Structure 1
């Protein structure tokens, strides 16, 4: 299984650190050339590989860590996302319900990535918290996952476990997705909730 992170701002870097902590190789890309962020990637660790967007989207699992309004640009990088798992880490801050067509933001993203298997996840934590080691006081930091594809949610749940998090599945995008959705100036009930699970 190959992994990539599209977007290398604070959230993208926090995700890259999570992979680096466990020695799992991940490619990172932005809409700019890889030379523009190669030094930042190298500072995180040798398993974080800067790539062109056109190469990074070849991964099996793609973390979408861009601004919500940038997701359509990323979606044009492939004509079909068939079989790929897209982890939607975006938040639709400042986007109105009308602009979303009354749909959960994750449904809007899913529609843009034709054929992809979308999982909403890792977006409810602010970057500074996501950046920290998920091992907390003998427990594991919780990440919420919502998807209309049970198999994709299971795969991302297993990855989250490998990264040291405690995944909790919330169900489909129209139900669970709303719990971790931010749009306009409103937040789902689980946004910014920094929870720790003790086994």
Structure 2
């Protein structure tokens, strides 16, 4: 299984650190040349591999850690996303609901990534929290996941556990996705909830 993070701002770097802590190789890419962020990637660890966008999107699982407004540009990198799982880490705060056709922001993202399986996840934690080790006082920091594809949700839940998090599935995008989405001037009820699960 291969992994990529598209977007290397604060959220993208926080995700990269989670992969580095677990020793899992992940490609990182932006619309810029890889050399422009190679030193930042190297500072995180040797398993963080800078690549061009066209190369990074060949991964099996792609984390979308760009501004919501940029998701369509990333989606154009491939003519079809068949066989791939996209993890939507975006938040559409400030995007009027009418621009989304009245649907959850993650549904709008899913439509752009033709043929792909979308999981909404890892977007409810601020970068400064996501950046930290998910092991907290003997427990594990929670990440919420929502998807209309049960197999994709299970796949990302397993990855979240490998990264040290405790995944909680919220159901489909229309139900669970609404709890962790931002759109217009409102935040979903679970955004910014920094929860820890103790086994």
**Bin for the TM-score computed over the shorter chain:** over 0.9
Within 5 Å, which residues of 2 pair with 1:84-163? 84-163=84-163
Match of 1:181 in 2: 181
Q: CA separation in 1, counterparts of 2:11 and 2:93?
A: 15
Alpha-carbon distance between aligned partners in 1 of 2:172 and 2:197, rounded to the nearest angstrom: 22
d(CA) in 2 for partners of 1:14, 1:96: 28
Alignment pair present for 1:58 and 2:23: no
Task: Give the TM-score normalised by structure 1.
Answer: 1.00
CA-to-aligned-CA distance 1:5-49 (integer Å, 9 cap, x gap): 000000000000000001000000000010010000000000000
Structure 1 residue aligned with 2:45: 45
* 2:194 paired with 1:194: yes
Q: Which runs of 5+ in 1 are unaligned?
A: none
Q: Which structure 2 segments of 5+ residues have no match?
A: none
| 1:17 partnered with 2:17 | yes
Question: Separation in 2 of the partners of 1:76 and 1:117?
Answer: 16
Q: TM-score, normalised to structure 2's length?
A: 1.00
Which consecutive segments of 4 or more residues in structure 1 shift more than 2 A? none
